[in-house]
A and B are shown apart, each in its own frame.
Chain A
Amino acid sequence: MENPENVIEVRNLQIDFHTYAGEVKAIRDVSFDLRKGETLAIVGESGSGKSVTTRSLMGLLAPNAVIKNGSIMFHGEDIIKKSEKEMQHIRGKDIAMIFQDPMTSLDPTMRIGMQIAEPLMKHKGLKKKEAIAQALEMLKLVGITNPEGRINDYPYQFSGGMRQRIVIAIALVCYPEVLIADEPTTALDVTIQAQILDLMKDLQNRIDTSIIFITHDLGVVAGMADRVAVMYAGKIVEYGTVDEIFFNPQHPYTWGLLNSMPTLDTEGGSLTAIPGTPPDLLDPPVGDAFAARSDYAMKIDTEKEPPFFKVSDTHYAATWLLHPDAPKVTPPAEIVRRQKKFAAMEKPEPPIKKETKE
């Protein structure tokens, strides 16, 4: 580990998928760290590689995936080099995962108590009875009312929000160091979403776990994450603290994402979707992959890939706009407004409460 604060260090990860049409270059040189106890949000449009990145941490890539390059260091060892058997001892114990759709992610034929107990029996060698007893504790922890009465129920007897709580209980029952949540609230309605997010925050404090939180809903990120990584076309294009990404974004793609996000203080009519579609990853473009959709593209963007430019110690963005020789551009009005807010925040004041649905 380069930094003892890090739980996971991903370096130069490159993943291709073999398909009949050719090699899909899904992850193209991705590096990031996950710090102890933090929540790292990975945001980006559909197909940007969020799920593939996190699945590689679990060793759960599709059979047609090839890891071309890179390393994923966890406890000083490279996960990529581990065998399936070794990964089975990590999954569910050290690194756990919550899935998107709680309606389909529980086994319909197994009592929920048993489903929660399973990881304990596998990883802690507990007998069924002890495991079920701990599962009961877990049910209480995730806020299922009358857990004694419900532990022998089947999934169909629970609502979507309750099921997601059960999925969370399964993921956290072994107190994992890392929790990967792949759009855990997308399938739920808004009020339930907020409850589930609160629950995750609460449990994170109790269990002391690091969370990788995947979403394409930036509104959720603000209340949830400590740091944000923005992905586009298989690359991370910008990363920084939540405040830096929300109020001082540098990459035109991040601008686009923020511009297309409704907020409480958005001035009327300034909501705009990013034009165009992401590039075909069978044949990714040279240079900055976002150039074709960007109003701020320069000649060099189509020729040479931008390196990461440092904005602050915690904030980096891969855009030529940050090159000292680049012409000064004015970001969209909404972004300028955010940057002004950020400048005010830079002064040692308590951070402004951001737009969350609390």
Chain B
Amino acid sequence: MRKYLLKRIFYLFLTLFIVATATFFLMKLMPGTPLQNEAKLTPSEKASILAQYGLDKPVWLQYLIYIGGIFKGSLGLSFQFSDQAVSYLIGSRMGPSMQLGGQAMVVGVIFGIILGAVGAIRKDTWADRLATVVSILGIAVPSFVLAILLQYYLGLKLGWFPVAGWQGFVYSILPTLALAASPLAETARFIRTDMVDVLSSDYIELAKAKGLSKFGIVYHHALRNSLIPMVTLIGPLAAALMTGSMVVENIFSVPGIGEQFVKSILVNDYPTIMGVTIFYSALLCLLLLLTDIVYGIIDPRIRLSGNGD
């Protein structure tokens, strides 16, 4: 186990390194420069600003300098925010993003489980078909479309929720819903497939033969067995939430990391782009590692075959 963990952690860092490298060079391929009013600057002003940020050096050298910085524990300074440290920027914006992500995950997973379970239990009925349509829509409709629809109808037209901003829980409701759609759909689809399998298994047959009610069978046996493999879904769901947050936070003006990230891309704020990318990658890698560890622990318990005594 220890050896396995060390190996995994090594691979985690290797992954992060590759991600950082790829992002760095891809980022340099983006058009434009970090200079905001480039047209008004004289060539000498421009040159001096670029030199100040080290952007006059060849790209490979910039890369080495950046990586060197990371090994010293620094993500660099942001270009756009009067030279704030990127790490500070991420830290100060983490709150809203984590809150949104967490809420969306909880809402999405809970309702996804309910939807998926109903689909499996009422297989091939209108309820199942409805659940399938909902989950297909949740996967197919991009979160920005949903976000705009929610904003327009529930926010602007009906006035039930604030249209945008971040001044308390009510402000988080619409962005949470917009973000939750994708994990909800993924969960529903996963649980339905899984539970159809589980419901046709021998131990469910035995549960029926015990005289348990439909609800008892689902609640005590089917659900638990369908939920365990869902551990593997945590990684993909988190990834979906991260990408979703970038658009959704922008649409609802939520001061989170995602909003920051998109802005940084638009103005070529290289250090922030790199910082956020590395931060998100690290978060995702950690989640995946955690998933594998948790699954490794519960796996012997869910193995159907195998010998005990």
Contacts and interface: CB of A to CB of B under 8 A. Distances in A.
Closest 10 CB pairs of A and B: A92-B211, A157-B308, A91-B211, A92-B210, A104-B202, A105-B202, A97-B209, A107-B203, A158-B308, A88-B211
Contact of B213 (A58, A88, A158): A88
A122 B308 contact: no
Given A109-B221, A153-B308, 4 more contacts: A108-B301, A110-B220, A122-B210, A167-B206
Interface in B275-309: 300-309
A162 interface: yes
A119 B267 CA distance: 66
Interface in B216-271: 216, 220-221, 224-225, 228
B210 A170 contact: yes
26 contacts: A60-B209, A88-B211, A89-B211, A91-B209, A92-B212, A96-B209, A99-B209, A101-B202, A104-B201, A104-B203, A105-B203, A108-B301, A109-B225, A109-B302, A110-B220, A110-B221, A119-B210, A122-B210, A122-B211, A122-B212, A153-B308, A156-B301, A156-B303, A157-B309, A159-B307, A159-B309
Contacts of B221: 107, 109-110
Contacts, number: 93
Interface residues of B, number: 28
B292 to A, nearest CB: 19
B210 A91 contact: yes
B86 to A, nearest CB: 45
B309 A107 contact: no
Interface of B: 201-203, 205-213, 216, 220-221, 224-225, 228, 300-309
* Chain B contact surface mostly: helix
Contact of A108 (B211, B303, B309): B303
A110 B198 CA distance: 14
A123 interface: yes
A91 B220 CA distance: 17
B212 A110 contact: no
B220 A104 contact: no
A301 interface: no
Nearest to A153: B308
B211 A156 contact: no
Interface in A50-108: 58, 60, 85, 87-93, 96-97, 99, 101, 103-108
B305 A103 contact: yes
Contacts of A103: 304-305
A163 B208 CA distance: 18
A92 to B, nearest CB: 4
Contacts of A119: 210-211
A266 B203 CA distance: 40
Contacts of A154: 301
Interface string A114-151: 00001100110000000000000000000000000000
Contacts of B302: 108-109
Nearest to B209: A97
